[in-house]
């Protein structure tokens, strides 16, 4: 009885070519930090009081704030937000008081590691939520 085997070495080039796709490294999830789907302008104020004017404001490519509200998650589109004030809450979280264009306010909890991006005249600006004092939308 002779068993026929297929040499594994022949599969190596195929596995090398497919490995990024198989490992999920072939895409960034369709999110673009440089060109989000809408162009929001804002003034970002960091914890030291430095103000930075940005356009194309986004959070990980999204034009909405996603944060914890109690045991759930709330998503608020930037279209509805007038400003956001940040305050440290713990090592991992900050409190975000979101002031809506309707006049209402809601307090949420965001991860300190949350990255906020915006385009300046000289390049792409990024800052973590823990380092922000406020975001004021100007458009």
Summarize pLDDT for 15-73 with one digit per residue, the tens: 555 555 555 444 444 456 677 889 999 999 999 999 999 999 999 999 999 999 999 99
Identify the weakest region by mean pLDDT among 10-14, 124-128, 132-136: 10-14
105-130 average pLDDT score: 97
pLDDT at 1 over 70: no
Instruction: Tell me the C-alpha distance between 12 and 17, whole Å.
Output: 9
Instruction: Tell me the C-alpha distance between 88 and 93, whole Å.
Output: 7
pLDDT of residue 15: 52
| Residue-averaged pLDDT of the chain | 87
Contact in structure between 57 and 117 (CB atoms under 8 Å): yes
pLDDT of residue 26: 42
Going by pLDDT thresholds of 50, 70 and 90, the confidence category of residue 13 is low
Instruction: Tell me the C-alpha distance between 40 and 57, whole Å.
Output: 5
């Amino acid at each position: 009885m002779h068993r026929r085997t297929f040499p594994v070495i022949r599969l190596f080039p195929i596995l090398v070519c497919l490995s990024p796709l198989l490992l999920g490294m072939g895409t960034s999830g369709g999110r673009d930090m440089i060109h989000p789907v809408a162009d929001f302008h804002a003034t970002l104020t960091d914890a030291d009081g430095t103000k930075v004017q940005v356009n194309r404001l986004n959070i990980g490519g999204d034009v909405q704030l996603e944060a914890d509200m109690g045991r759930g998650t709330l998503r608020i589109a930037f279209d509805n937000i007038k400003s956001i004030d940040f305050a440290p809450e713990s090592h991992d979280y900050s409190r975000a008081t979101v002031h809506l264009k309707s006049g209402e306010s809601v307090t949420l909890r965001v991860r300190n590691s949350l990255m906020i991006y915006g385009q300046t005249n000289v390049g792409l600006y990024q800052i973590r939520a823990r380092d922000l004092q406020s975001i004021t939308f100007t458009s």
